[in-house]
């Protein structure tokens, strides 16, 4: 259950066959497309939660731009446009420089503290929620769940990064962009996800000071990630209205080991047997035939009046409106009955 519902299930250790640390769940959010003047109509957000990187922009005197990243956001007004990855504008710089930007992994601040030594991912999910007007909910969204990290840098035409259109072709599960919250659940990898990693281990190496040294190298997949062969997951969207307000939510559950000087005593290792990830994934795959688990929609609980208004704004036929009125009448009668009892 913990792997299928990383956002809400009770955390338990042993999914990799051992328990070596403590468990916790972390969350972060990113609001996109709600700034006055934004003209973005497409984009993507991709994440590899096996790593825990941070946008290090401005944190060090000689590091004014990100030098690592495992969570990337690209926005554009052109679905065919390709994010830059050159010596002067490496992939991940963002900041209006015509390329993707690095977002902080939810666990990045915790691992950069003096408390945590390293961690491994035991579950992760990404949600996208539209909070604009219902009548403005236009566009298409696709789920990405099995993208090799090397494709991030060179998966497009000419070994460049890919465009929104190219990534949308890669997605085999697409739907209309609407008012429902969409959720993509990370599929744990028996090998890559089981490794404890420090925050300093990069998924993608992004060279610092590229503006000052424009002849330097572009961003590259790190040697550590090449060896582990991790995957990325997330969303791609296009044809939304400009300035369509959305919230991206990132939830990550980790098993962590503490720093020696943190004052936290060590957790004794525990053995539970074989690595359970293959068996868990097999069970979830079997369940997906009847109910989506890794790529799904989470319909929000709505009151009767909200359901009627959504039906009207969605352009349903007139015959559906009387049924909506009946729902409202039933709700009102039920409420009055409850008050009389």
pLDDT in tens, 255-289: 999 999 888 888 889 999 999 999 999 988 888 77
Tell me the C-alpha distance between 154 and 93, whole Å: 17
Tell me the C-alpha distance between 160 and 162, whole Å: 6
Tell me the C-alpha distance between 331 and 96, whole Å: 50
Q: List, in order, residues 6 or more apart from 100 with CB less than 8 Å away.
A: 72, 73, 74, 83, 91, 92, 94, 161
173 contacts 142 by C-beta, under 8 angstroms:
yes
2 contacts 12 by C-beta, under 8 angstroms:
yes
pLDDT at 81: 95
Of 30-34, 48-52, 70-74, 253-257, the range with the lowest mean pLDDT is 30-34
- Of residues 271, 229, 335, 274, the one with CA closest to residue 18: 271
Of 21-30, 99-108, 136-145, 210-219, the range with the lowest mean pLDDT is 210-219
What pTM does this model have? 0.84
Give the torsion through C-alpha atoms of 207, 211, 215, 216, to 10 deg: -10
Q: Is the pLDDT of residue 252 over 60?
A: yes
pLDDT tens for 136-178 read 888 999 999 999 999 999 999 999 999 999 999 999 999 999 8
Percentage of the chain with pLDDT > 90? 53
295 contacts 145 by C-beta, under 8 angstroms:
yes
Mean pLDDT (the chain) is: 83
Phi, psi of 281 (to 5 degrees): -65, -40
Alpha helix positions (H), the chain = 108-111, 149-154, 164-170, 223-228, 277-287, 304-313, 320-340
pLDDT at 14: 92
Q: Looking at the domain 18-300, which fold is it?
A: Jelly Rolls (2.60.120)
Which two tokens mark 243?
């300035």
304 by DSSP, 3-state: which? helix
DSSP helix, strand, coil percent of the chain (3-state; round to 5): 20, 30, 50
184 contacts 233 by C-beta, under 8 angstroms:
yes
Residue boundaries of the structural domains of the chain:
18-300, 305-340
pLDDT at 300: 39
- Of residues 248, 244, 247, the one with CA closest to residue 136: 244
Q: Is the pLDDT of residue 301 over 70?
A: no
Residue 328 DSSP symbol: H
Which two tokens mark 333?
């009668």
341 by DSSP, 3-state: which? coil
Which two tokens mark 29?
């959010």
Beta strands in the chain (DSSP E): 18-19, 22-32, 42-47, 68-69, 71-76, 101-102, 116-130, 140-148, 174-176, 181-185, 204-205, 220-221, 231-238, 246-258, 270-271, 295-298
Beta-carbon-side half-sphere exposure of residue 299 (alpha carbons within 13 Å)? 6
Q: Span 194-208, mean pLDDT?
A: 92
Percentage of the chain with pLDDT > 70? 81
308 by DSSP, 3-state: which? helix
Tell me the C-alpha distance between 304 and 100, whole Å: 41
Which two tokens mark 9?
């299930």
């Amino acid at each position: 259950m913990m792997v299928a519902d990383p956002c809400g299930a009770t955390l338990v250790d042993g999914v990799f066959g051992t328990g070596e640390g403590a468990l916790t769940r972390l969350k972060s959010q990113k609001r996109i497309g709600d700034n006055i003047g934004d003209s973005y109509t497409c984009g993507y957000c991709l994440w590899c939660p096996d790593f825990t990187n941070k946008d290090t922009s401005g944190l060090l005197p000689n590091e004014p731009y990100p030098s690592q990243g495992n969570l990337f956001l690209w926005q554009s007004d052109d679905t065919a446009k390709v994010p830059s990855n050159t010596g002067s504008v490496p992939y991940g710089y963002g900041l209006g420089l015509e390329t993707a930007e690095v977002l902080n992994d939810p666990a990045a601040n915790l691992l950069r503290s003096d408390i945590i030594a390293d961690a491994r991912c035991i579950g992760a999910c990404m949600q996208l929620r539209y909070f604009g007007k219902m009548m403005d909910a236009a566009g298409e969204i696709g789920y990405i769940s099995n993208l090799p990290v090397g494709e991030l840098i060179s998966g497009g035409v000419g070994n460049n990064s890919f465009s929104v259109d190219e990534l949308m072709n890669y997605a085999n599960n697409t739907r209309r962009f609407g008012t429902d919250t969409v959720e993509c659940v990370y599929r744990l990898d028996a090998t890559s996800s089981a490794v404890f990693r420090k925050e300093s281990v990069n998924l993608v190496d992004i060279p610092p000071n590229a503006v000052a040294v424009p002849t330097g190298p572009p961003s590259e997949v790190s040697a550590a990630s090449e060896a582990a062969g991790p995957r990325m997951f997330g969303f791609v969207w296009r044809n939304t209205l400009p300035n369509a307000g959305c919230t991206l939510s990132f939830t990550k559950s980790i098993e962590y080991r503490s720093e020696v000087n943190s004052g936290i005593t060590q957790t004794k290792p525990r053995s539970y047997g074989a690595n359970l990830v293959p068996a868990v994934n097999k069970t979830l795959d079997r369940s997906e035939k009847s109910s989506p688990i890794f790529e799904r929609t989470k319909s929000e609980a709505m009151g009767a009046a909200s359901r009627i208004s959504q039906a009207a704004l969605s352009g349903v036929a007139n015959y559906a409106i009387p049924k909506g009125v009946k729902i409202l009448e039933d709700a009102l009668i039920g409420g009055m009955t409850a008050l009389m009892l």
